[in-house]
Amino acid sequence: MEMSFIPQNYEEWRHCITITCGQELTEAFINSRIQALQNKSDYMTKRFVELYGEAQRQRTLDWFVRASEELKHPSH
């Protein structure tokens, strides 16, 4: 039986997106996800909330915002 993995923190989420899924966190991708997750009438956002809950939607939105800030202000 395969376990479902839902990231519980930013590091797990980032690993899931970039390593497991192979999705580069580009400015365009991040901005599109932020826009969608902020739109509670968006079909996929509604499905996300149905599957994972409002708290996970908010956490995921926060993680995309953090990723956006890291792109704008990379640490040295």
Listed by start position, the domains of the chain span: 25-72
pTM of the entire predicted model: 0.89
What pLDDT shows up at residue 74? 85
Residue 18 has pLDDT above 70, yes or no: yes
Distance CA 13, CA 23 (A): 12
* Dihedral-angle region of residue 27 (phi above 0 means left; psi in -120 to 50 means alpha; beta otherwise): alpha
Mean pLDDT of 65-70: 98
Residue 57 has pLDDT above 90, yes or no: yes
Residue 30 has pLDDT above 50, yes or no: yes
